Structure 1
């Protein structure tokens, strides 16, 4: 039997939105998902177009789906069955957006071709193709229209890079039917998505949805399948940020990495920042030795094709 495809798009979370489909526990649906620009960025787009993207068109999500018998206090499981790749994606530095928005004030755009193996980010940089949906969420209990951009306790724009094929995300239901939507597909992304964008791309995603009665979880949780991170491990270049503020530490660690890539590899700073967003891994290394904490930023050496880049 053919799997039904959901094409309906919307641009906010709102429990008054009419459902695109009604499902039962165990049903599988395929979602036809646009990229984060709503299709406005093309292969031929120029960086300046990033400053003119209408907010009303951004971050479209596909759905919502009404789960029969779902009530507040239940849990909806989203098992990610498959992602069907496109051919290209984009990464942008958008003025006023991103972890280092004060450092990078001009628009910048990178178009990347990809296949089922790799994202060809630059001449000497190939990042493993690792597709996932950045936004998976249910409708919040609070009335009105809610932006897609911030994540919430019922899911949304989580941007968790480990929500790949074979993983399962569990979301707490806040309203009758749950009202599940999925969007924001990425060809690859680093932990933190620090510049504000990953390799944004149009893609179809297939998921099986299950209802768990009285699950009573406070916020999203997920299972990651064994072998989900299959990058060839050649080690990492790691920079750190140390101080009493985790946000400042994160900024310092990323700035340090950009500086290293720029000075040691001759990489354009904008490219280095974007690379941090699509391939890096931002982690808290220490949060107990007050008054200072340590944030580490990992760059996998395996993405670099040349030995000179791997040695930086």
Structure 2
């Protein structure tokens, strides 16, 4: 096993550890450890809400999820010799749940998927699903099943939702300017258009506490993907993947976290992967001057691993850029993917699933999402591919009509949403 350079004790809160990680992006956050090019090492990661979500049959914890505290990132890790303009090369050697543990933390043999309330983050289909729902998944080896979504099981494509390098001060200022300008176009929107810096709940590693208010008021929130990588939620960044990240500061200062046991393309319920804590084994290297040499001035490029489950048959649903009210939009791929997802959800309800169960399933299972047409004006076309083998019944259309499942206890819904309406 590679050397553990960042360890987490499941009996302690994230913020109680001597080596403290962080939940914001800022160039002044000090590294927790230093590695050299050519090193292999292991990093422990905590589930993104640090244990706030429980293995139970209630969605009240999803309704009240503390979004200001996320994400609990492990790092930053300094890479010896890394300089701005280099490419950081990360190989994912292994990644998985918390080893040999069962308990109350996500990753200790279980994980969860959540649909967020419109008034606490929302989701990709927030207008159709404004309330909070949850599904808990149990792990058996590489396979996930859920008491909240019966008759399905699938192998997880385990991956980190977040890996990113530290931004330079100039890049951070660019983020804050453009996202602030976007917020100003509709400052009272629910959900908000973007998340501005927020100092009160910032965790900034070993930075001196008298600097936390200043740095926290500048630091980038970890919710969106940006030039440095960050919260890209790419399900194929699994074991065997090689990723090339741009370096913006001396040492690169990369961080990792937000592990998922599985996820559908797009993580459409917002908390759409199967969230968990666990470990990740990495190999690190550098390509000196690689950003200019390969034209990678922003955003990572990667070579996916080869551990995806092998599905041979899919049921695919398409959608176009026309709203539910019949309004034509011009090549709106976001809308066309929403419509494809809604078509898949409606189809699955014909077999006995509730819409919420079907939505949670699309967020968690290894569905494939594709931009299938982006040139045929005025309609963009997107498609959603569902592997038929994840069901224990025949989900294909037939002359006999849809098989009727027992939906079981269903997906828990938050009973009291005082902000709903």
TM tier, shorter chain? Answer: over 0.9
TM-score after normalising by structure 1: 0.94
SS at match of 2:221: coil
Q: Equivalents in 2 of 1:5, 1:150: separation in Å?
A: 27
Provide the residue aligned with 1:9 in structure 2. 21
Q: Deviations over 1:137-189 (max 9, x none)?
A: 01111353111111111110010011010001110001111111000000100
1:276 pairs, out of 354, 358, 362, with 362
Provide the residue aligned with 1:137 in structure 2. 164
Does 1:101 pair with 2:126?
A: yes
Q: Equivalents in 2 of 1:2, 1:189: separation in Å?
A: 27
Q: Equivalents in 2 of 1:290, 1:109: separation in Å?
A: 38
Contact 1:190 1:277 in 2 (8 A): yes
The Cα of 1:254 is off from its aligned counterpart by: 1.0
- Change in Cα spacing, 1:53 to 1:250, as seen in structure 2 (3 Å) is same
Does 1:21 pair with 2:33?
A: yes
137-146 or 238-247, which moves further after superposition?
238-247
Contact 1:6 1:29 in 2 (8 A): no
The Cα of 1:98 is off from its aligned counterpart by: 1.3
Q: Equivalents in 1 of 2:378, 2:127: separation in Å?
A: 26
Q: Equivalents in 1 of 2:165, 2:67: separation in Å?
A: 21
Provide the residue aligned with 1:250 in structure 2. 337
Contact 2:314 2:387 in 1 (8 A): yes
1:128 pairs, out of 140, 155, 158, with 155
2:308 pairs, out of 224, 229, 233, with 229
1:286 pairs, out of 373, 398, 401, with 373
SS at match of 1:265: coil
Q: Deviations over 1:175-227 (max 9, x none)?
A: 111111000000100111111121101111111111110011122100023x3
The Cα of 1:53 is off from its aligned counterpart by: 2.2
Provide the residue aligned with 2:351 in structure 1. 265
1:8-157 pair list within 5 angstroms: 8-44=20-56, 46-85=58-97, 86=107, 87-96=109-118, 97-121=122-146, 122-142=149-169, 143=172, 144-157=218-231
Contact 1:116 1:129 in 2 (8 A): no
Q: Equivalents in 1 of 2:388, 2:369: separation in Å?
A: 15
Aligned length: 309
TM-score after normalising by structure 2: 0.70
1:306 pairs, out of 386, 393, 398, with 393
The Cα of 1:242 is off from its aligned counterpart by: 4.1
1:238 pairs, out of 317, 320, 329, with 317
SS at match of 1:26: coil
The Cα of 1:231 is off from its aligned counterpart by: 2.5
| More strand by percentage | 1
Provide the residue aligned with 2:407 in structure 1. none
The Cα of 1:45 is off from its aligned counterpart by: 6.6
Q: Deviations over 1:78-109 (max 9, x none)?
A: 10011132410000111122111111111111
The Cα of 1:130 is off from its aligned counterpart by: 1.5
Q: Equivalents in 2 of 1:140, 1:185: separation in Å?
A: 22
Contact 2:263 2:274 in 1 (8 A): yes
The Cα of 1:257 is off from its aligned counterpart by: 1.1
The Cα of 1:56 is off from its aligned counterpart by: 3.5
- Change in Cα spacing, 1:32 to 1:275, as seen in structure 2 (3 Å) is same
RMSD: 1.7
Contact 1:80 1:164 in 2 (8 A): yes
Provide the residue aligned with 1:178 in structure 2. 252
Contact 1:128 1:231 in 2 (8 A): no
Unmatched runs of 5 consecutive residues or more in structure 2: 8-19, 98-106, 173-217, 323-329, 403-421
Does 1:212 pair with 2:287?
A: yes
Pick the structure with greater CA Rg.
Answer: 2
